[in-house]
Structure 1
Amino acid sequence: MCQVEEEYNDQLERAPLPSVSKKCVKCREGAAAVVIRAGDPYCRECFKEYFIHKFRAMLGKNRLIFPGEKVLLAVSGGPSSCSMLGQVQEGLSLNAHKKLRFIPGIVYIDEGGAVGQSAGDRQTKVAELQSVFKATGFPYRIVPLEQVLHLPSSVLETVPLPSAQLADTYKAAVGHFIHTDASSGLSTETQTDTSALHIQDSDTHALQRVLASAKTLTAKEDLLHTLRQHLLVHTARTEGYSKLMMGESCTRLAVKLLTSISVGRGAQLAEDTGFSDSRYGDVITVRPMRDYSAKEIAFYNHMFHVPSVFIPSLDTKAVDKASIQRLTETFVTKLQADFPSTVSTIYRTSEKLQSACRSSSAADRCHSCLLCMSALDSNIETAASALQATQISEKLSQNTSPSTTLSPGRSPPEALGSDEPTGQCCSSGGGEDCGKTGSGGGCCSTKKADTCDLKSLLCYSCRLTIKDMASVELLPDYILSEAQRRQRRSHMREEIGEFLLDEADEANL
């Protein structure tokens, strides 16, 4: 039996801590200044060379950015996007070993109105970012998120590229760029000062109503991400940029991968986490920072004084269980602290994913989601799919039991204790007044049918986001107008469907 007087401290031995070399793992001479992974210490110069080489190797390996091409850098003010901006500035400098050959531009989306910032706080953050942008010498634009309310519906259309950019085409473009005057091809544009952008209070209130209509923080963040992406693509198209460069790190993409699976975006993982995203056709999104962990970026920014600006977001100071995104981020970061290979394992898994609809023609056949513009995964014809089971459960839960008896003199909504009409006309005068403007804009059942039609244009994840909204009528006008246009085209196609040739008939011709 255990005795209180017995001492066991002499028999316990502490496990020895892993020793870290004080010399650089690369040059073997310099003193170690940073340890990226266990057993990988780097000196200051070798770490900088390693960091720069990884960025340029990522761009050179994929060969998507052609020489002389205009690339728009989406900078949010965070450490990752500011580090990306610094790498581009370093690659375009005169003393760069392998210079970058594209023409950069900067865009910042001011989301202060969405998170409830005052006008003075928004101007302060814009002024801080402007000092960072002016130091680079690149042209920049500061666009408030309120402009998303005035976008044209063409932003939701996929514009196909004129021709596929193959490897031999890339080599030919590089050779042509080298033999021509490279300095004239990389002429920088004049900087644009957009600090005096006028933001109307009505637009800010309308944007806040759109986000406030979402009941959960998960739906708000998804909706905000969708609107921000639409505004970035529209800015790139209007300014003549063919590439959109994002600053998402490896840690951020690992969190995004698990979050996308949790919210039902498993079919879009290849586009959401891959190096390139060509769902919009003419504007291709690239992620050159996807090989960097948050730890590497933080060390580099601290050691080489890369400036960044803290911008509050929707989940700032939120609890861990406030949203699926926040909970997944907490889970991954805590697991990464105990198991350092967590983020890299998730990241390597995302590299092996591929999209079902890869070409533009395939994307046309699969259609695209109204909000995220990804391949539509909700048009599944298999009766045993999870989506079909969910839809059947929703229909059964909404149907009224046939054995329900109604009290005499009471309408079905009153008998069921619901304010929503069930198959009845909203007009008290009968069916002859249904749909007239004098009766409040038409029948409620018609509005409900319109909502169902809108859901048919969305992928599974975006359906969940719309389901959490109080009213879809608060969505921006360009989304609603595009939804009506797609519904009219679908109805027209059904009417003339018997006169159209299907794929089998076209193959036999």
Structure 2
Amino acid sequence: MCQVDEDYHDQLERAAVPSVSKKCVKCKEATAAVVIRAGDTYCRGCFEEYFIHKFRAMLGKNRIIFPAEKVLLAVSGGPSSCSMLSQVQEGLSQNAHKKLRFLPGIVYIDEGGAVGQTVEERQRAVAELQDVFKATGFPFHIVPLEQVLDLPSSVLVTGPSASERPASAYKAAVDHFIQSDSSSCLTPPEQKATSIPDVQESHTKLLQQLIGSAKTLTAREDLLNTLRQHLLVHTARAEGYSKLMLGHNCTRLAVKLLTNVSLGRGAQLAQDTGFSDSRYGDIILVRPMRDYSAKEIAYYNHMFNVPSVFIPSLETKTTEKASIQRLTEGFVTRLQADFPSTVSTIYRTSEKLQTACKSSSAADLCDRCLLCMCALDSAVESASAFNMTLISEELSRTKSQGATYAELQSQKPGLSEPESTAPNGECCSSGGGEDCGRAESGGSCCSSAKETETPNLKSLLCYSCKLTVKDMSSVDRLPLYILSEAQRRQRRSQMREEISEFLLDDGDDGD
């Protein structure tokens, strides 16, 4: 038993805690002002130099952005994307040591309609961001999320990607850029007076109905992320940008990696967390902030007065168990507090991941998911666990109708519903005109296909997107460009099956 009057308490030693009074680990002269990790203490000047150098090194190491190329910066108003904007602005300044050589532009997606903000709150947030954007001198575009309802179907088509250039091409392009009049090439276009776009109330209601059709917060966040990415890619194509720069930091990518594994997106981890993502072909997504932790970004923004605007999202003020994304974030954050190497370990694991899929230029469009545009991971053998899961779901759903396993097998491929015939044996042309000809051959009338305009999306989605769509109350609430592209792909697939006898296999020589 412990006694109150024992003397052992004088012998206890306090654990050593890193103090900011230590000297800077780089210059070893100035007093440290910030502690990034245990033992990594920097003074104000060295920390700024370290932060800037990491951003330049990330772009220089990958050599994806060529000189005089147009790059669109996706700024959400958060600390990470605003810090990315500050780094680009500093890299293009006159006193920069190694100046950046691309032409930047800014895009902001206003998601206030999906979150439920009032018109006044949305206008106040947009006005604050406008002041930040105008201070940079870059051209900027403010796009409400409601515009996703009017997108063309071409946004779901992989654009023609530029041919892969050898490593020597980047150095040659830089040398040519330096020898030419580089100052005139990097002159940003005049900033146009952009007004806050007007949004119709009917469009806002349709968007809220679309997001609200998802029953769980997990599906809502995943659907919102997909729609946002479609709108960003469309804006980049419409404005003539070839690169889209995102502000995802190391902490967010670590959370996203574990979240994607939980959501069944393991096959897309390399594209969702890597430095570059070329799933759209002509538009390459770039993540230059992936080496920064959220702690480093918060310190830098506070010390050097980088402005940011807080804008609520779907998960604002929600509990930790409200969604898989929120639960994973809380798990990683708590683990990082006790074990400081957690985020870096997960992040280094993501660096080693590579996709085994075809490149965006060679992959067939029908082999890509309709929503996330990644390679389909549902084309598996009939004896796989995934296929058995689909059969089990179909058996559970049709148990009340007395369907058997043999009947489900006869409905393959795709486990889709059997085609319905025209009512009372009538043909589509019974009201007048010629017969369609399908009723005489024993098939169903073509009017049965016209009655059900909603396409079956099962065969067009990856496993994770299937779960998201399955969680929606009605597929009809999806934007028109998604439904029309689904119908086009299904018609193309049906036509391919009809002429499959006359097509040559990949292994045939053609003689």
Residue 398 of structure 2 corresponds to which residue in structure 1? Answer: 399
Structural mapping, 1:62-81, within 5 Å:
62-81=62-81
Aligned length: 482
**Mind listing any 5+ residue stretches in structure 1 that lack a counterpart?**
405-421
In 1, Cα distance between the equivalents of 2:357 and 2:504? 22
1:141/1:193 contact within 8 Å kept: no
Structural mapping, 1:94-109, within 5 Å:
94-109=94-109
Structural mapping, 1:320-335, within 5 Å:
320-335=320-335
Residue 348 of structure 1 corresponds to which residue in structure 2? Answer: 348
2:160/2:361 contact within 8 Å kept: no
Q: Are residues 243 and 402 of structure 1, via their aligned partners in 2, closer, same or farther at CA, if it must alter by over 3 Å?
A: closer
Q: Secondary structure at the match of 1:307?
A: coil
Q: Which runs of 4+ in 1 moved over 6 A?
A: 3-6, 401-404, 422-427, 433-437, 442-446
Residue 35 of structure 1 corresponds to which residue in structure 2? Answer: 35
Asked if residue 458 in structure 1 is aligned to residue 457 in structure 2, the reply is: no
2:126/2:196 contact within 8 Å kept: no
1:141/1:192 contact within 8 Å kept: no
After TM superposition, give the deviation of residue 433 of structure 1 in Å.
Answer: 9.2
After TM superposition, give the deviation of residue 400 of structure 1 in Å.
Answer: 2.9
Residue 230 of structure 2 corresponds to which residue in structure 1? Answer: 230
Structural mapping, 1:241-252, within 5 Å:
241-252=241-252
In 2, Cα distance between the equivalents of 1:329 and 1:435? 58
Output one character per residue of 1:210-260: Cα deviation in whole Å (capped at 9) or x when no partner.
001000000000000000000000000010000000000000000000000
1:106/1:140 contact within 8 Å kept: yes
Q: Secondary structure at the match of 2:37?
A: coil
1:423/1:445 contact within 8 Å kept: no
Structural mapping, 1:273-284, within 5 Å:
273-284=273-284
Q: Are residues 503 and 3 of structure 1, via their aligned partners in 2, closer, same or farther at CA, if it must alter by over 3 Å?
A: closer
* Paired amino acid for 2:496: R
In 1, Cα distance between the equivalents of 2:427 and 2:119? 47
Residue 441 of structure 2 corresponds to which residue in structure 1? Answer: none
After TM superposition, give the deviation of residue 445 of structure 1 in Å.
Answer: 13
Structural mapping, 1:430-441, within 5 Å:
430=424, 432=426
1:127/1:195 contact within 8 Å kept: no
Asked if residue 495 in structure 1 is aligned to residue 498 in structure 2, the reply is: yes
* Paired amino acid for 1:372: C
Residue 13 of structure 1 corresponds to which residue in structure 2? Answer: 12
In 1, Cα distance between the equivalents of 2:154 and 2:96? 40
Question: When the two structures are superposed, what TM-score results if normalisation uses the length of structure 2?
Answer: 0.89
Q: 2:507 aligns with which of 501, 504, 507?
A: 504
1:126/1:195 contact within 8 Å kept: no
Structural mapping, 1:414-453, within 5 Å:
430=424, 432=426, 447=452, 453=456
After TM superposition, give the deviation of residue 387 of structure 1 in Å.
Answer: 1.4
In 1, Cα distance between the equivalents of 2:425 and 2:112? 47
After TM superposition, give the deviation of residue 322 of structure 1 in Å.
Answer: 0.4
* Paired amino acid for 1:312: P
After TM superposition, give the deviation of residue 9 of structure 1 in Å.
Answer: 5.4
Residue 218 of structure 1 corresponds to which residue in structure 2? Answer: 218
**Mind listing any 5+ residue stretches in structure 2 that lack a counterpart?**
404-416, 432-446
Q: Are residues 15 and 426 of structure 1, via their aligned partners in 2, closer, same or farther at CA, if it must alter by over 3 Å?
A: farther
Q: Secondary structure at the match of 1:503?
A: coil
Q: Secondary structure at the match of 1:54?
A: helix
* Paired amino acid for 1:261: V
2:123/2:196 contact within 8 Å kept: no
Residue 314 of structure 2 corresponds to which residue in structure 1? Answer: 314
Q: Are residues 425 and 479 of structure 1, via their aligned partners in 2, closer, same or farther at CA, if it must alter by over 3 Å?
A: closer
After TM superposition, give the deviation of residue 363 of structure 1 in Å.
Answer: 2.3
Q: Identity over the aligned pairs, expressed in percent?
A: 70
In 2, Cα distance between the equivalents of 1:378 and 1:222? 19
Residue 412 of structure 2 corresponds to which residue in structure 1? Answer: none
Asked if residue 475 in structure 1 is aligned to residue 481 in structure 2, the reply is: no
After TM superposition, give the deviation of residue 485 of structure 1 in Å.
Answer: 0.4
After TM superposition, give the deviation of residue 17 of structure 1 in Å.
Answer: 2.0
